[in-house]
Amino acid sequence: MRFLVATAVPAERDAVARALPGTAREVRLPGGTLHQVAGPHTYDLLAAGVGPARAAASTAAALTAAALDGSPYALVVSAGIAGGLRPAAPVGSLVVADEITAADLGAETAEGFLPVTELGFGTVSHRPPETLVREVTAATGAPSGTVLTVSTVTGTETRADALRARHPRALAEAMEGFGVAEAAAAHRVPVLEVRAVSNPVGPRDRAAWRVGDALAALTEGFGKLAPALESWNPHEP
């Protein structure tokens, strides 16, 4: 099978690469550069950019190139570091999305936030295949729940509380998953999101981010989950 793993930045891409046997070769595409690790299965690792729009554009370019090659992806994985919502997702832990939700795609009203779906268009959530989520959580021991996609990193406890109230199943927030999922959905390719927690969601304290610990957790988690991806039957829901 051929897998596309979209991270935001090269440091996250390289953390995933360290979990995979073999060396990556660079494959240049019109919309970015893949780091391709080929073996019995092929992993194309893509530093797709920060934020949902850039990530969607880069992921769509890779999906289109693979489709035109006649070698489409079986799965797209959005992977990287994230803010963890207390108390479910402590720093250094791994989380798996059973739902990928755009948390700030909508309209603010006097009565509160309205998602675009309540305005009558679009979508705000994508669901990874249930069987895959089960197998990946069993392989890693990570919890599954909603992973939110935001365009603005949460920086206050008020905002963190609002997110928790609106999304009681949320474990973490990051900035790319929904964009990656939108691109995958347009190509009818299933999506998964895995995140390693680098910081708590709440008052901004960039100095307290434990990026190194999160990247190590991402490498360890990806090493455990790769066999689950490879043995997964894409025809199961």
Ligand X SMILES: O=C(O)c1cccc(C(=O)CC[C@H]2O[C@@H](n3cnc4c(=O)[nH]cnc43)[C@H](O)[C@@H]2O)c1
Which residues form the interface with ligand X (CB under 6 A)?
8-9, 11-12, 50, 80-83, 150, 153-154, 173-176, 198-199, 201, 211
Nearer to ligand X, 44 or 173 (CB): 173
Give the residue with the Cβ less far from ligand X, 98 or 173. Answer: 173
Q: How far is the CB of 231 from ligand X (least distance, A)?
A: 28
Name the residue number minimizing CB distance to ligand X. 83
List residues bridging with 178 in a β-sheet: none
* Alpha carbon 127 to chain centroid, angstroms: 12
**37 vs 103 by CB, closer to ligand X:** 103
Cβ of residue 174: shortest distance to ligand X, in angstroms? Answer: 3
The candidate with the shortest Cα–Cα distance to 4, out of 77, 66, 64, 69, is 77
Shortest Cβ distance from residue 60 to ligand X (Å)? 18
Q: Nearer to ligand X by C-beta: 118 or 205?
A: 205
- Nearest distance in Å: CB 64, ligand X: 23
User: Shortest gap between Cβ of 150 and ligand X (angstroms)?
Assistant: 6
CB nearer to ligand X: pick between 80 and 190: 80
Nearest distance, CB of residue 80 and ligand X, angstroms: 5
- The residues, ordered by sequence, that sit 6+ positions from 87 with a Cβ below 8 Å of its Cβ are none
**Backbone torsion region of residue 194, taken as left when φ is above 0, otherwise alpha when ψ lies between -120 and 50, otherwise beta:** beta
Minimum distance, C-beta of residue 76 to ligand X, in the bound complex (Å): 16
Cβ nearer to ligand X, comparing 12 with 135: 12
Token readout for 132 is: 């895959």
Those residues whose C-beta lies under 8 Å from the C-beta of residue 102, and which sit 6 or more positions away, are 52, 115, 124, 125, 148, 149, 178
The residue (of 71 and 152) whose beta carbon lies closer to ligand X is 152
Three-state secondary structure along 133-183? HHHHHHHHCCCEEEEEECCCCCCCHHHHHHHHHHCCCEEEEECCHHHHHHH
What the block records as the tokens of 170 is 């949320």
Distance CA 227, CA 223 (A): 8
